[in-house]
Amino acid sequence: MNTSLDLTAPTLVDAKEDCALIFELSQPGRVAYSLPECDVPTTEDEVSSWLPDEFKRSDAAALPEVSEVDVIRHYTGLSRRNFGVDNGFYPLGSCTMKYNPKINEDVARYAGFAKIHPYQPVSSVQGALELMHTLQTDLAALTGMDAVTLQPAAGAHGEWAGLMMIRSYHEARGEKRTKVIVPDSSHGTNPASATVAGFETVTIPSNAKGMVDLDLLRAAVGSDTAALMLTNPSTLGLFEEQIVEIAEIVHEAGGLLYYDGANSNAIMGITRPGDMGFDVVHLNLHKTMSTPHGGGGPGAGPVGVKSILIPYLPAPIIEKLENGSYDFAAASPHSIGRVKAFYGNFGILVRAYTYIRTYGPDGLRRVSECAVLNANYMMARLKDYYEVPFAGPCKHEFVMSGSGLKKYGVRTLDVAKRLLDFGYHPPTIYFPLNVEECIMIEPTETESKETLDGFIDTMIRIAKEAEEDPELLLNAPYTTPVTRLDETNAARKPVLNCACS
């Protein structure tokens, strides 16, 4: 049993108490702020002349009145009711919950990175531009692409930006291509991004091996195909062995290939999307490059493209001038435009660059090797207890099915909830959609064999519990600050804020 986060330990008992909303702590007259005295001369007449009364706020915002200690205790209390990678194993498939190195956090807080403004003269931000330029070059090398934009704020944002470039490319050639093909194992963001870019989505089922069905692909492509979006290795953790043929089929039909880089942690230095035939790729720096997920964000989703798409890149790109200094390149007249304010999530780029420099290219290759070995080891040890629909070798993640437990009245959800009692964050569940009662496990390279063994033993124990005492699973978890929550009522009668005033 993993004891790294034993929620029953007496020190954490208070985490089980209801935690008041910050608004409920308010006491009139209490303050937590420190502001300077006003040191500029003003008269009351002057002040009242500056803004017409109808522009002024009629009722003060009902913000809480608390002390600094209240604030710290409140948020510390909340943090103790939350589980992160630093608390324990977090094998959430397709999310790459690897360790978030502390040096990344330290350097991103340097004033020279954290306290600079995007509109300062370029002469005063040469270090920032140098970092971005180097990162562009490094990511292009890693993915086998010709150019990289650091603008997109997240993976889905990168997908949409990439698809917009594909759209502009086809339009510039006078072609009207309206369809984007995705396999049924794709991330939900793929079809959603296609819609926002003005495309229709065509979903093709995977074959029995979990791979793209080439016959179905051939039947699906045509003169209206704008692109195929593919995650490789797929969300099933499988490498598309026929990727070269897939690329040929799509390219012959005049379409382009989009690489969803969510699963890049499997292939660094081993194979590159550019060499497989992809034309566009996004990377999730918050997955592959160890930047923290932040409880939902911020992330960063840089996009790499082959030379045919360079004219369509969103502005701006950083360039190195002949004199060795750095500047923003003028936008191409064919650019899709701007996708985000300023220059992307720079603070995340600093962390990703720092991470790359702790490893170098040989180290990144070792990252992928270990991530893949860890996943294969877990799959090998668990395959006798849970159904593994696709034989290995897997890449950085694999899927199992909890359908074998249904005969005991137990579902994958119950296994996940029971895992919480042992101090583990559960794997991704019910995704991908083409595997029944799916359990998707991604250990990452930063977990030790002992951690993996502890988790595996727990999964085996839970499978036995399902057989012997299914009620135990159905009512889990027992050790968390709250038990299972009423999600139906939450959606039916939404309470979405505290309606303070």
Peptide bond into 427 cis (omega under 30): no
Reduce the DSSP state of residue 259 to 3 states and report it.
strand
Q: Does 223 bind other proteins (CB under 8 A)?
A: no
- Hey, CA dihedral for 196, 199, 203, 209, is it positive or negative? negative
Q: Which residue has the tokens 């991908």?
A: 432
Single-letter code of the amino acid located at 146: D
Q: Cα-flanking dihedrals φ and ψ of residue 50, to 5°?
A: -70, -40
At 136, which helix (H) or strand (E)?
helix 126-143
d(CA 21, CA 17): 13
Choose which of 10, 44, 45, 111 interacts with other proteins (CB under 8 A): 111
Single-letter code of the amino acid located at 456: I
Choose which of 6, 64, 224, 389 interacts with other proteins (CB under 8 A): 64
Residue 322, Cα to own-chain centre: how many angstroms? 37
Reduce the DSSP state of residue 68 to 3 states and report it.
helix
Of the listed pieces 108-116, 223-231, 305-313, 460-468, which binds other proteins according to CB under 8 A?
108-116
- Please give the residues from 436 up to 465 whose contact with other proteins meets the rule CB under 8 A: 445-449
Q: Does 311 bind other proteins (CB under 8 A)?
A: no
Q: What does the per-residue mask of binding to other proteins show for 75-94, with x meaning CB under 8 A?
A: xxxxxxxxxxxxx--x-x--
Q: Does 354 bind other proteins (CB under 8 A)?
A: yes
Of the listed pieces 193-201, 212-220, 222-230, 463-471, which binds other proteins according to CB under 8 A?
193-201
Q: What is the DSSP letter of 162?
A: H
Query: How many residues lie near other proteins (CB under 8 A)?
Result: 210
d(CA 389, CA 367): 26
Cβ–Cβ < 8 Å for 451, 404: no
Nearer to other proteins, 174 or 295 (CB): 295
Q: Does 412 bind other proteins (CB under 8 A)?
A: no
Nearer to other proteins, 255 or 432 (CB): 432
CB atoms near residue 317 (< 10 Å): 22
Give the residue among 265, 267, 266, 249 at the shortest CA–CA distance from 257: 249
- Please give the residues from 7 up to 36 whose contact with other proteins meets the rule CB under 8 A: 18-19, 21-23, 26, 30-36
Provide the phi-psi class of 203: left if phi over 0, else alpha when psi is between -120 and 50, else beta: beta
Q: Does 348 bind other proteins (CB under 8 A)?
A: yes
Q: Which two tokens stand for residue 281?
A: 């790729």
Q: Does 195 bind other proteins (CB under 8 A)?
A: yes
Choose which of 114, 172, 329, 330 interacts with other proteins (CB under 8 A): 114
- Please give the residues from 313 up to 332 whose contact with other proteins meets the rule CB under 8 A: 314
d(CA 455, CA 381): 11
Distances (CA, A) of 251 to 224, 226, 246: 12, 10, 9
Q: What does the per-residue mask of binding to other proteins show for 147-176, with x meaning CB under 8 A?
A: ------xxxxx-xx---x--x---------
Q: Which two tokens stand for residue 486?
A: 């009423």
Choose which of 45, 57, 176, 323 interacts with other proteins (CB under 8 A): 57
Q: Does 389 bind other proteins (CB under 8 A)?
A: no
d(CA 71, CA 67): 6
Of the listed pieces 97-105, 216-224, 400-408, 435-443, which binds other proteins according to CB under 8 A?
97-105
> CB 142 → other proteins: shortest distance, Å?
6
Choose which of 2, 6, 12, 71 interacts with other proteins (CB under 8 A): 71
- Please give the residues from 364 up to 383 whose contact with other proteins meets the rule CB under 8 A: 364-367, 369-370, 372-374, 376-377, 380-381
- Please give the residues from 414 up to 433 whose contact with other proteins meets the rule CB under 8 A: 416-417, 420, 425-426, 428, 431
Of the listed pieces 212-220, 239-247, 251-259, 435-443, which binds other proteins according to CB under 8 A?
239-247
> CB 156 → other proteins: shortest distance, Å?
5
Q: Does 214 bind other proteins (CB under 8 A)?
A: no
Residue 151, Cα to own-chain centre: how many angstroms? 16
Q: Are strands 303-305 and 280-283 parallel, antiparallel or unpaired?
A: antiparallel
Nearer to other proteins, 34 or 323 (CB): 34
Q: Does 251 bind other proteins (CB under 8 A)?
A: no
Nearer to other proteins, 255 or 292 (CB): 292
Choose which of 4, 8, 175, 188 interacts with other proteins (CB under 8 A): 188
Q: Which two tokens stand for residue 99?
A: 């360790």
At 126, which helix (H) or strand (E)?
helix 126-143
Q: Does 410 bind other proteins (CB under 8 A)?
A: no
